[in-house]
Each structure stands twice: as C-alpha cells, then as structure tokens.
Amino acid sequence: MNDAQNLEAHLQQELGRVVFGLSSAIHQLTVALITGGHVLVQGVPGLGKTLLAKSFALLRGGRFARIQGTADLMPADITGIHIYRSEEGRFELIPGPLFADVVLFDEINRAGPKTQSSLLQAMEEGRVTIDRETYQLPADFLVIASQNPTDFEGTFPLPESQVDRFLLRIDLDYPEPAAEQQVLAAYDKPGGGHAEAPVLATAPAELLVGARAAAAAVHVSDALYRYALELAAASRRHPQVALGLSTRGVLNLMRCARVEAALLGDDFLTPDHLKAVAPAVIPHRLVLAPDALLEGQDPRALTTTLLAQVPVPRE
C-alpha cells in the first residue's frame, strides 16, 4: 500500500468510530485532504454533517475554529477587527476564526451574501484583507462548510464564484437501516454525540506528504487532458446549462482524479478515475438554465448525462 492508501485507511478507521455508514463521504474527504481543497457538505438537518466535518477537522490537525452561519453574521465576525491601543498609540488586529488552520462554517447558506463573500479571497489566495491590510492565513488553510438544501427556510444561495472555490461537494442522504441502527446504539444516551469531543488520532503529517507525492507521480496522458476539456466544453454548450464547468473546475477535476488513481494504487490516470470523482466535482458548479429549473432538472443527473455523451479516449 502507498501512503495515499494508508492515509485513507487511517481516516476510515478513526472517523468510522464516530460516524456510521459514511465510508463514501470519508473517501471524498480523503481526496480533498490530499488535493488541498475546500469541501462543501450538503444534506437535510440531522444527518451528521457537523459531526463529520468537526471530526475530520480534528484528524486534520492544526488550530480549529468554528463559525455558525446566521442571518445577522457580519464579515468582521469572521475575519477579525482592528482595535486601537491608546497606551501604545497603534492599531492591533484581533483575528477572527478565519485565521485557523481548519475552519468549519456550519450552515454557511444561512449567512447573508455579504458575509459569504468575505470568504472569497481567503478560499482562493489563502489571504485576507482587513482595513486595507493583507494578512497571510496558515499554510494548507482549509474550509469545511455545511449547508442545508437551498429550498429550506432562511437560506441564501451561495454566489457562483464561491461555490466554484469548493473543490468538491459531498451530498449526504438518509443512512441505510443498519448504519442508522449503529447511530442509535452509539448516541441514544443523554448528551448525544456532541456531549464530549471524540478522541481521534491525528493523521501523521509525513503520511499526508507521502500521499501528495504519490498523487503527483501518477502519469497523465494528453488524451486524458483532452477528455477532461471535452467534458467541460460539453457542459458549457448543453442547452439546459446556463453556466458550465469553469477552468478552475476542470483543473480540480484533474487533481481529484490523480488522487483517486493514487488511492486505488494505480500509476497512470484512466477515464474511470475521472468518472469516479466527477459526481463530487462537477454538479455544484453547474448553473441550470431557467427552463431546466422549471422542469426540475438536477445537476447530478446532467453530470451523468455528460459523462455518457462524451466519448471516452481509447489510447
């Protein structure tokens, strides 16, 4: 087994102690961790989104901070503020939770558009500007955001520019009966699953370094680059899509596919690796045309259609 596979085994074992029936979601979190991208977790309330994200953040290591999305949350509540120290005659930055290594933004779409937009620079550049001063965030700065479906009461849709900054979106559904029974057996006691923080073994830093090296070593042919670009082009010209896959989206698709190959122990990229990660990378980036919305089209179904329509390279 290579370091990427060992890292996933560690995450599956540790996270499997606190969440049940979410091995697929843990696999996607592993892809995000190795790739170094931000993660959006979506599902109806009560499926364990917060517990999953919080536990993953503990495994990731570093300083952890949590932001609770509310309608009255302001940008300064996230980024921080300058206060004047009269005795020293200077302004001092009081950093907000955004300065942590791992930030959990719970129910991000319950925060207003102005507050949501305060994350744009941080997620793209790893920096934040406060009162015309720019500050560097920690290396490997990571945002894990959870959101409820957009048709729920009191939610604001995320701006397209912000959605595109999330490497992938994990969609959680109701668990299988066996997994749900495990949840009941583990958390039916007073206090539930959040009474005490779980004691989890942090993933070794050298394992993450090795996993990224294994992904970087995966060979990618020109035919696979063309295949990814053809998928993007097909999304942009589809009659039911108003905004297709961006260049950032194609790049993230390739990065995730590299990691997927490494996690399977493969030395070279195949179309199957791209197809495996596409359902987590593409759908949240597609903006549907008005008629498609009226017809109740789902970006996930459109992604499946695109994968079926674009010819697979035979080289």
The domains found in the chain, sorted by start residue, are: 218-315 (1.10.8.80)
pLDDT of residue 85: 83
pLDDT of residue 194: 58
In the chain, % helix, strand, coil (3-state, to 5) comes to 50, 15, 35
> How big is the chain, counted in residues?
315
pLDDT of residue 151: 59
Cα(181)–Cα(37) distance, integer angstroms = 33
Cα(109)–Cα(146) distance, integer angstroms = 8
Rg (CA), the chain: 20
pLDDT of residue 198: 66
Cα(95)–Cα(9) distance, integer angstroms = 35
pLDDT of residue 191: 66
- Structure-derived torsion over alpha carbons of residues 214, 216, 222, 226, reported in degrees to the nearest 10: 100
Confirm if 203 and 209 have CB atoms less than 8 A apart. Answer: no
In whole angstroms, what separates CA 286 from the centre of its chain? 16
- Structure-derived torsion over alpha carbons of residues 17, 18, 22, 27, reported in degrees to the nearest 10: -70
Cα(27)–Cα(11) distance, integer angstroms = 8
pLDDT of residue 193: 55
Given a cut of 50, the residues of the chain with pLDDT beneath it are: none
pLDDT of residue 153: 67
pLDDT of residue 39: 94
- DSSP β-ladder status, 241-243 and 287-288: antiparallel
Overall pTM surpassing 0.75 (yes/no): yes
Residue among 2, 55, 62 nearest 26 (CA): 55
